[in-house]
Structure 1
Amino acid sequence: MSLLQRWQALDPATRTAAIGAARDRAGIPDLRDRACWESRDRVATDSILAEASADLERPWPHTLLSDFARYWRDGVRTAYEDEARKLTRRTSAAVLAAALTGDEIYVDAAADGLLLLCEQTTWCWAAHESFATAKGEVLADPAQPYLDLGAAETVAVLAWADLVLAPALDERVPGLRRRLREETRRRVLRPFLTDRRWHWLGLDGHLHNWNPWIHGHVLAASLFLETDPEIQTEAVDLVVEGLDRYLGALPADGGCDEGYSYWWNGPARLASALELLDRVTDHEFAPWTCMPLAELARYPQRMTLGGGWYVNVGDGPAHHDPKQPWQILHTWGRRIGDAEVVAQAAAHRHEPLSPDAGLGRALVALLDDEWWSAVPASSPLPRSTWLSNVQLLVAREQAAGVDGLTLAVKGGHNDENHNHNDVGSFIAALDATPVLIDLGQPTYTAISFSDRRYEQWVVRSEWHNLPVVAGQEQPPGARWRATDVAVRREEAFDSLELSLAEAYPSGGLKRSATLDRSAQEIRIVDEWDEGVRVEEHFVIGGEPTAHAPGELLVKTLSGGLARLSWDPALGTGRLERRPVNDDLLEGVWGPYVHRLIIDTDGTTFELKFTRGSTHD
């Protein structure tokens, strides 16, 4: 039974009662319940209270038109988006501090932030404001609000703040809650209900993380801020329909073509919304047996390398901020009865709670006693994972361990969500640290999702672990794909073989990638037709320390030593050093990366990746 079928199977009276009682059933008491709020775990509260206290001495962030206009002027998105996020974060921190302490100074700070949000001309981020672009303007029109991620993130702060602070806001600032409801109806609920052309609805079959991200926040706004039962019911029904559409588009094996980073804003957003719906129906909705929720919950452990490193594809950083809302995954694991998912989440229980995850997520986490009583342990990691839909193999030398070699290799096509031109590319890691790397997401600018996207060096195939064939890179588009994909998973080895003949205009190339546990090596073998010129490219994280014909030693970013070897007759290859010049990428890889280019001859090339030795 699908999500929508499960929702519609509920007795109409049950659905009506759930929506009407949502504020009481959500499991978030208002700040008058001092016994509850003052008994929260100190690990969770100390960092929040320290941040909120420091905020009292700082000026409030302001979103400026000049920063908004930079998207059109020089392509810079972050100047405006960073300030918008600072404002929602600071408001969220004040709301949390007000709940935790009951102190009027934080209630007033929260009220200030909420009104500043209401006073913004737009909640939409400039990169998404296509209404203004269509008119040749850079100023958003308040009469034509655009419902995007920025608007959804903002309304979520209003909704969860109203849920927990309502009595104090009525006492301290009468009229503010009415303003919150009016802005929510105008900017979010009315556009959601009256305009079904939003691309993130997925009515054209193209589904991505915007769907659960926005639908989940619209759900909170409908349940906590809207007072008209008919509007509430219509909005909630449409939310469930939209979430059902997203879940139905996800592969049965739990793969996510947007990668680990966007998993937190795709499937994890879906899980948050489903948990809220389940709560308000007193768990009669019970969506957790719907396919493929159980498999989706296992994705983070399948992509974990260790030490904060993850298998990254497309626009995703390889070294991820540990301050993820792991409580969501913990709850998810409990709901589906998966002890390994629960353990994977619990391994991160020591991380402090952060408003960055969103106000709703933080409030739910604060009140989850099972989460705070969980005992952190090591992450359970599968020895081998094959996700057939996205054609991604992840193989470790040791089951359940981070030591040794790890290989990740992908097939797929060049029109995946947040795509890089990377069909057939691979990652090779030593002791959890990537050495042959996928650079991941650069800082987003105006060209990131435009027809100039593939001008960015980090998304091009020549800056992945891929060959240039007959002088040509892989082009973007769904027609450029892997074919004849064959995976073998044995005790001694895991391998993926695939044809890249349809990934390059020149065609004619096959690749096999193998993790050989017996030999303790990763082997990459490329074969092609006679007479084709192939130039092998390998992108390196770390510092090359010795370079000779057929060999390169690399000191990894964690201090290990990796060895790359190939036919010495091909010489040393060309080793390039490139400055990163991007704050986001530099935060992962340091100020520069290297690329090894090897000109080949004949019709085959083999690279071996092993642990290096100081005697090499």
Structure 2
Amino acid sequence: MKESGEKITKPLMEDAEITEISEAAETAEIPEIAEAVGRMSPAGLHFYYPEGDASRFWRKVRSSREYAADLAEIRSEGERIRGTTPPNLTYSLFSQFAKKGSRLEYERAYFERRRRLNTFAFLSLLEPECEDYHTELLDAIWEICSELTWCLPAHINPQRPVSETIDLFAAETGFTLAELRLLLGDRLPELLWTQLTELVCDRLLRPFLEKGPYEWEEAEHNWSAVCAGSIGSAALLLLDGNREREMLTRILEKTQRSMTYYLKGFGDDGACLEGLGYWNYGFGYFVYYADLLHKRSRGELNWFSQKKVKAIASFQQKCFLGGNAVVNFSDALPHGSVHIGLSRYIASKYESALSPPTRLRADYREDHCSRWAPALRNLLWRELAGDAQDWEPGDFMLEDAGWLISRMISQEGVFGFAAKGGHNDEPHNHNDLGQFMLAGGGEFFLSDLGCGEYTKDYFSTARYAYDCNGSQGHSVPIINGCLQAAGSGRTASILEYASSGMESLLTVELSEAYDCEGLHSFKRFWQWHKSELPSLVLKDEFSFANQPGSLVERFVTLIQPEELGEGRLSLSRSDLALELVYNHRQLEAEVTERSYRDHFGKDQVWYTLDFHVLQTERHLELSFLFQFIRL
């Protein structure tokens, strides 16, 4: 199989075009990048396979038990879609977002086309002798190349031509095609080779240099990492030779700048405020780019030497609360899996980054967006680090984020507790200061609803009317009729934190979260007791200038509560329950069944446990006990 540079008969851009772009690109000079580019060797299969031997690697994947589940999943998808017609990306589907604010109709068809591309690419690499698989792959590439745009409708701005727009998925698509160009080598017909090369240049590389700046270039969240990382990766794979070095240098300089902004979105604690799913996404594409940059520069350009990158790499192992239950503040899902390739790669880089249990490996079919880059590396990087039986117990105080996460293990099982401070202007923000969750046996008893269905309104001024985003959908009080307000000035202050083998304590001041006249102070205190069957004591202290008209303590669960008598409620799952004990002389309980649309557009039932203060006072102290018990 030939490597990338062997089939190109002319450079992607002529000298005059490169000079024009260089003059137009407004980026800071970074001499070390220019010097490193001058010493770079061409991209090749050795970036991906040991000794560049693709045949040996795919033979091992076919025969090794380590990959058996992956193969079964890929082949299952192949059987499902083989012989079917790819869905059309019609104008009617595309216009649904503008007309109704709905994203799912177009995105389902769009991502199904990516699933076809990925699946037949894997099958063709695994079984190169099968012409049917390769034909299906070439058709899938042709379909992708024929799309009017690689962007999603939700990311099209009327102020910018579609042809100049670069969003997450356009960038990912270009990176995918650039990578397939290298991996397929001379198995890719000249027409498709030329077409995908020119499209990546026209839709990503040229606009990135000529048509910016793009808003995401300075984003302190996943967009900068995914968009810039994908463009930088595509450039590293496509651009070679003396006449393209200036263009490659400019792209890498701009990518370097965007990656710096991405890292600015993290504190020194390495916490991803967007949650584990967006850590996999944004940090994943950061790593994929950093890996290719490190390899092509022969180690000269090394993002992995940065202290903050090392801290971010350890975030995943802190998020799991038992089983696949994960801390899901913000727009995150309550249950997660690991990208085994990404995880093993960073475990091979840092001793502090633990290799995850294989049982948490993401199924190939799990990613509804069908992203090629992580799917490929789940195979390529599988053996870079060993397996682990389970995550270790521990308390993790992420001070910059204001999160406390505790995972404990006893003879009764694995239990988890998490609480948050922070502020109400975070990426994918929820108004949720003081929110907390409890998990046992891999299931949630007190929950965070996480992310809802992404629509136009979901990211508009109506955002906090959605229960999963507003404080009404979180385990925080409603004070004198007031919900929490949004904004960077709505902050929580950590007053106390302590941890030992027996308990963890956290106290925060939350009055700044509420635009509530007369509220002087609201302190929330958690005491997590790590007994065989753990318990949590919650104490809230309120101070007002005048007697408030009302005060409601709210807790959120997906379990229908059962009354056990005065002052006691129970939340049961199988043989484990969480009992809630409260002062029934001070509080009146009210249980309400509600529903919301989850991230996949399905209606989900949830419950609010509201405790109305019977007699409000200027100074109030309320206390609750949450105790795990065996049934």
Distance 2:221 2:109 in 1: 25
Distance 2:522 2:329 in 1: 22
CA contact (8 A) 1:55 1:90 kept: yes
Q: How big is the shift at 1:127? A: 0.8
CA contact (8 A) 1:15 1:281 kept: yes
Q: How big is the shift at 1:156? A: 2.1
CA shift in 2, pair 1:514/1:405, >3 Å:
farther
Matched, 1:34 2:46: no
CA shift in 2, pair 1:345/1:612, >3 Å:
closer
Structure 1 regions of 5+ residues with no counterpart? 136-140
Distance 2:413 2:375 in 1: 33
Q: Which residue in the other structure is 1:138 paired with? A: none
Matched, 1:388 2:399: yes
- Deviation string for 1:566-613 (max 9, x for gaps)? 112135511011134446385xxx841111111113411111110135
Q: Which residue in the other structure is 2:156 paired with? A: 129
- Deviation string for 1:79-110 (max 9, x for gaps)? 11121111112111111111111123222222
Q: Which residue in the other structure is 2:572 paired with? A: 555
Distance 2:284 2:373 in 1: 13
Q: How big is the shift at 1:65? A: 1.2
Q: How big is the shift at 1:306? A: 1.8
CA contact (8 A) 2:45 2:182 kept: no
Amino acid in the other structure paired with 1:490: S
Distance 2:84 2:567 in 1: 57
Q: Which residue in the other structure is 1:169 paired with? A: 188
Q: How big is the shift at 1:29? A: 8.8
Distance 1:313 1:335 in 2: 28
Matched, 1:409 2:426: no
Q: What secondary structure does 1:292 align onto? A: helix
Q: What do you get for the CA RMSD once the two structures are aligned?
A: 2.7
CA contact (8 A) 2:235 2:251 kept: yes
Q: What secondary structure does 1:409 align onto? A: strand
CA shift in 2, pair 1:379/1:439, >3 Å:
same
Distance 1:367 1:407 in 2: 35
Superposition TM-score, scaled by structure 1 size: 0.88
Q: Which residue in the other structure is 2:103 paired with? A: 77
CA shift in 2, pair 1:336/1:31, >3 Å:
closer
Distance 1:258 1:53 in 2: 35
Q: Which residue in the other structure is 2:356 paired with? A: 344
Higher mean alpha-carbon deviation, 38-47 vs 573-582, is at 38-47
Select the residue among 20, 32, 44 that pairs with 1:23: 44
Amino acid in the other structure paired with 2:132: I
Distance 1:30 1:475 in 2: 56
Tell me the number of residue pairs that the alignment of Structure 1 and Structure 2 aligns: 583
Q: How big is the shift at 1:346? A: 4.6
Q: Which residue in the other structure is 1:332 paired with? A: 346
CA shift in 2, pair 1:9/1:459, >3 Å:
same
CA contact (8 A) 1:515 1:521 kept: yes
CA shift in 2, pair 1:451/1:386, >3 Å:
same
Task: Kindly report which structure 2 residues correspond to 1:80-91, keeping only aligned pairs within 5 A, or say none.
Answer: 80-91=106-117
Structure 2 regions of 5+ residues with no counterpart? 1-26
CA contact (8 A) 2:58 2:125 kept: yes
Q: Which residue in the other structure is 1:150 paired with? A: 169
Q: How big is the shift at 1:548? A: 3.0
Distance 2:180 2:33 in 1: 29
Q: How big is the shift at 1:352? A: 5.4
Q: What secondary structure does 2:164 align onto? A: coil
- Deviation string for 1:526-569 (max 9, x for gaps)? 1112523321011112232334331101113x552110111121
Q: How big is the shift at 1:334? A: 0.7
Q: Which residue in the other structure is 1:65 paired with? A: 91
Distance 1:208 1:477 in 2: 17
Q: What secondary structure does 1:529 align onto? A: strand
Distance 1:33 1:598 in 2: 63
Task: Kindly report which structure 2 residues correspond to 1:513-524, keeping only aligned pairs within 5 A, or say none.
Answer: 513-517=526-530, 520-524=534-538
Select the residue among 580, 586, 593 that pairs with 2:606: 593
Q: How big is the shift at 1:167? A: 0.5
- Deviation string for 1:428-471 (max 9, x for gaps)? 22333221111000110111211221121211111100000111
CA shift in 2, pair 1:32/1:167, >3 Å:
farther
Q: Which residue in the other structure is 1:225 paired with? A: 238
Higher mean alpha-carbon deviation, 347-356 vs 596-605, is at 347-356
CA contact (8 A) 1:156 1:220 kept: yes
Matched, 1:444 2:454: yes
Distance 2:56 2:534 in 1: 57
CA shift in 2, pair 1:402/1:75, >3 Å:
farther
Amino acid in the other structure paired with 1:36: F
Amino acid in the other structure paired with 2:202: R
Q: What secondary structure does 1:159 align onto? A: helix
Amino acid in the other structure paired with 1:407: F
Q: Which residue in the other structure is 2:178 paired with? A: 159
Q: Which residue in the other structure is 2:13 paired with? A: none
Q: Which residue in the other structure is 1:109 paired with? A: 136
Amino acid in the other structure paired with 2:403: L
Q: Which residue in the other structure is 1:245 paired with? A: 261
Task: Kindly report which structure 2 residues correspond to 1:505-544, keeping only aligned pairs within 5 A, or say none.
Answer: 505-506=515-516, 507=519, 508-517=521-530, 520-529=534-543, 531-532=547-548, 533-544=550-561
Matched, 1:234 2:250: yes
Distance 1:208 1:65 in 2: 31
- Deviation string for 1:133-188 (max 9, x for gaps)? x48xxxxx55x321001211221221111111131113xxx311111122112111
Q: What secondary structure does 1:265 align onto? A: helix
Q: Quick one: percent identity of the two aligned structures?
A: 25
Q: Which residue in the other structure is 1:94 paired with? A: 120
Matched, 1:427 2:437: yes
Amino acid in the other structure paired with 1:309: A
Q: How big is the shift at 1:63? A: 1.3
Q: How big is the shift at 1:118? A: 1.6
CA contact (8 A) 1:301 1:379 kept: no
CA shift in 2, pair 1:187/1:31, >3 Å:
same
Q: Which residue in the other structure is 1:119 paired with? A: 146
Q: How big is the shift at 1:397? A: 4.1
Q: Which residue in the other structure is 2:379 paired with? A: 366
Q: What secondary structure does 2:60 align onto? A: coil
Matched, 1:308 2:324: yes
Amino acid in the other structure paired with 2:57: C
CA shift in 2, pair 1:405/1:25, >3 Å:
closer
Q: How big is the shift at 1:524? A: 1.1
Q: Which residue in the other structure is 1:214 paired with? A: 227
Q: How big is the shift at 1:214? A: 1.1
CA contact (8 A) 1:447 1:453 kept: yes
Q: How big is the shift at 1:353? A: 8.0
Distance 1:52 1:153 in 2: 22
Distance 1:248 1:482 in 2: 21
Amino acid in the other structure paired with 2:186: P
CA contact (8 A) 1:47 1:353 kept: yes
Superposition TM-score, scaled by structure 2 size: 0.86
Distance 1:350 1:249 in 2: 26
Distance 1:396 1:35 in 2: 41
Distance 1:369 1:425 in 2: 36
Q: How big is the shift at 1:357? A: 5.8
Distance 2:252 2:280 in 1: 22
Q: Which residue in the other structure is 2:80 paired with? A: 54
Distance 1:491 1:186 in 2: 58
Amino acid in the other structure paired with 1:429: A
Q: How big is the shift at 1:260? A: 1.4
Matched, 1:377 2:388: yes
